[in-house]
A = this chain, B = another copy of it.
Amino acid sequence: MTRIRLGMVGGGRGAFIGAVHRYAARLDDRFELVAGALSSTPEKALASGQDLGLAEDRIYADFEAMAEAEAARDDGIQAVAIVTPNHMHASAAKAFLQRGIHVICDKPLTATLEEAHALVKVAEASDALFVLTHNYTGYPLMRHARQMVADDKLGTIRVVQVEYAQDWLTTDADPDNKQADWRTDPARSGAGGSTGDIGTHAYNLACFVTGLTLDSLAADLQSFVPGRRVDDNGHVLLRFQGGARGMLWCSQVAPGNENRLTLRIYGDKGGLSWGQENPNVMEYTPFGAPTQILTRNGASGASDGVRIPAGHPEGYLEGFANIYSAAADAIAAHAKGETSAALYPTVQDGLAGVVFVDACVRSSASNAAWVTV
């Protein structure tokens, strides 16, 4: 068992999602972090690399240098995790993809639709793999839900209610809060605020589980906090191909919601309800029969992506790690010239997310007119 040599772009001291990627990469012991361009500030890049025990010569001041140097090494990185603010995803990903280094990139794919289309072309032209960390698809019960839908347990899907509510931006953010700083800056975050940061997760998860394709949407976005330059709340009507309808609500100004991503799906044979904050249970109602509480690795058979027995809760990091382990499977298969069946979000899912944000912003600017995606 040889671990995949991994580099990281972004994720230096004070970052949130970089640490999450490192936990996720480490949990199943399939990756070894060996290089990093962890900050755009050279001193911080160095200090952050030292924190993580990287060799001095593999701590880089910028991703271009890292891509070039690592591509030239015999023991160079095989994959890179990109965990910068959104506006840097495209250029960083390009640097590695063009050198044949696999990319594991945080979402949303890019800050703009133009970048997204361009990146898709680069990714398609590259032999390297592109994995997008829509991590909520890594939860075992979301995989089980997807399988249940595929197995027609719900019948024809009619209604999809998906929500992602937070409250951390209810008031004007502390200027020292780096997370809030870039996420509310359209230059770094993209035109969508809550829609890009969390709405894309909700949208991706709904499509992942239902297998539905969005036809069009009508969005009413708001920026409730005075001075805020991106949306902090969004109400979106969804029309899926084939006739299913849905509502998506994303908010970062809803007090009492820490990270409440919920998904409810109703078909003509049954319904499902799940919430991310207690991800180890899901309610399933076969129409006309009592609701069942399905548990991760429990009697329901939801065992895909689990590590430990039922009743021993797995959480966010474990779900995230499932994306990393799927990436590891795919990378291992790729090395043998094979194609893996591993389930992970791709650059196309990333494009769909950016298309979604763009459509929301355009619809809202047109008084919530329908926009076909």
A contact residues vs B (CB 8 Å cutoff): 1-2, 16, 19-20, 22-23, 26-27, 29, 51-53, 158-159, 161, 166-168, 170-171, 218, 220, 222, 224, 233, 235, 237, 239, 245-247, 249, 251, 253-260, 264, 266-273, 276-280, 283-295, 298-300, 307-318, 367-368, 370
A289: B residues at CB distance < 8 A = 299
Structural contact, A161 and B249, CB atoms closer than 8 A: yes
Q: How far is the CA of A171 from the CA of B156 in the complex (A)?
A: 12
Known: A284-B290, A290-B295. 14 other contacts (CB 8 A): A20-B308, A23-B307, A235-B237, A237-B368, A255-B267, A255-B286, A277-B280, A277-B313, A278-B278, A289-B299, A290-B300, A308-B316, A314-B316, A314-B317
Bound: A171/B315 CA distance, A:
30
Q: Complex Cα distance A347/B272, Å? A: 39
Q: Is the CB of B312 within 8 A of A159?
A: no
Q: Which residue of B lies closest to A313 (CB)?
A: B315
* B170:A268 contact, CB within 8 angstroms: yes
| Residue in chain B with minimal CB distance to A370 | B367
A245 vs B231: C-alpha distance in the bound complex, in angstroms?
A: 13
Chain B contacts of A167 at CB under 8 A?
271, 285, 287
- Report the minimum CB–CB distance from A245 to chain B (whole Å): 6
The answer to whether A279 touches B313, judged by C-beta atoms less than 8 angstroms apart, is: yes
Chain B residue numbers with a CB within 8 Å of A170 are 268, 287
- B29 contacts A268, CB within 8 Å? no
Choose among B245, B300, B316 the residue that contacts A222 (Cβ–Cβ < 8 A).
B245
The reply to whether A245 and B258 form a contact with Cβ atoms under 8 Å apart is no
B315 touches A256 (CB 8 A): no
Is A283 touching B256 in the complex (CB atoms < 8 A)?
yes
**B251 and A159 contact, CB distance less than 8 A:** yes
Shortest A36–chain B CB gap in Å is 14
23 A-B pairs whose Cβ atoms sit less than 8 Å apart in the complex: A1-B53, A22-B29, A26-B26, A159-B233, A166-B311, A167-B285, A171-B287, A224-B268, A237-B237, A247-B249, A254-B264, A254-B271, A255-B267, A255-B269, A257-B311, A277-B313, A278-B278, A278-B280, A290-B299, A292-B292, A312-B315, A313-B315, A368-B368
CA of A36 to CA of B259, assembled, Å: 41
Q: How far is the CA of A48 from the CA of B249 in the complex (A)?
A: 48
Of all chain B residues, the one with the shortest Cβ separation from A161 is B249
CA distance A104 to B166 in the complex (A): 39
Q: Which residues of chain B come closer than 8 Å to A267, judged between CB atoms?
A: 255
Q: What's the least CB distance linking A295 to chain B, in Å?
A: 6
A313-B271 in contact (CB<8A): no
Closest CB in chain B relative to A47 CB, distance in Å: 13
B255–A287 touching, CB < 8 Å = yes
Give A170 to B288 CA distance when docked, in angstroms.
9
> In the assembly, what is the distance between CA of A278 and CA of B286, in Å?
22
Min CB distance A62 to B, Å, is 24
Partner of A256, one of B20, B233, B271, B308: B271
Residues of B close to A220: CB separation below 8 A: 218, 237, 239, 245
Least Cβ–Cβ distance between A57 and chain B, in angstroms: 17
Alpha-carbon separation in the docked complex, A292 to B271 (Å): 14
Is B258 in contact with A310, judged by CB distance below 8 angstroms?
Answer: yes
A27: contacting residue among B26, B222, B293, B368, CB under 8 A: B26
A370 touches B370 (CB 8 A): no
Q: How far is the CB of A343 from chain B (nearest CB, A)?
A: 21
